[in-house]
Amino acid sequence: MANKNSKDETLVVKISEDETNNKTEITVNEPKLKLENKVVYFEFGKDNLKSDDELSNYFNELKLFLNQNKTTKIDLIGHTDDVGDEKENELLGLKRAECVKKMLMEVGIEDNQIQTLSKGENDPIDSKVTKEGRDLERRVEIIIN
């Protein structure tokens, strides 16, 4: 899945002149960062995640985005495949979401902007009949609200 991060290229410049004080004020509003939701994948039975450059860049861009949009929240939704006990999978999905939350907080994202939840094995995106299908289920969705 490609992650398309972009900036709105519109740059707003406001020039104000105060002739009585012989001053010119220039205000530049930088373009707002636009960011898409992301999915990160986990290994079978694991609730830990190794960061790579792509993920680190996304987390840093997410931090900038949330700094520009203080009322925006993110949901971290943990998922599992259907192998094993349903209750254990529910807990594993939550642990995966909490793992991503910890990583986000380490880059400076505020706790009150992050909500974690688990759907365990109950929201499949694939038939899970194949190994590849089950691999897609072991994920955390990062949803920007």
pLDDT tens by residue, the chain, 145 residues: 334 444 444 555 667 777 777 777 776 665 666 889 999 999 999 999 988 999 999 999 999 999 999 999 999 999 999 999 999 999 999 999 999 999 999 999 999 999 999 999 999 997 757 889 999 999 999 999 9
Per-residue tokens: 33: 């960062």
Neighbouring C-beta atoms of residue 41, cutoff 10 Å: 14
Per-residue tokens: 88: 């254990």
User: Three-state SS for 7?
Assistant: strand
| Domain annotation covers residue 12 | no
Cβ contact 34:69 at 8 Å = no
- Check which CATH number belongs to the domain holding 139 and give it: 3.30.1330.60
| Domain annotation covers residue 107 | yes
Cβ contact 26:13 at 8 Å = yes
Per-residue tokens: 78: 């943990």
**No. of H helices and E strands in the chain?**
3, 8
Give the separation between CA 66 and CA 51, rounded to whole angstroms: 20
The structural domain count of the chain equals 1
| Domain annotation covers residue 87 | yes
pLDDT of the residue at 42: 98
Cβ contact 128:62 at 8 Å = no
| Domain annotation covers residue 106 | yes
Q: Containing domain of residue 84, as a range? A: 33-144
| Domain annotation covers residue 11 | no
CA distances from 108 to 60, 76, 102 (A): 9, 16, 10
Q: How far apart are the first and last CA of the chain?
A: 20
| Domain annotation covers residue 7 | no
Q: Is the dihedral of CA 79, 45, 81, 53 positive or negative?
A: positive
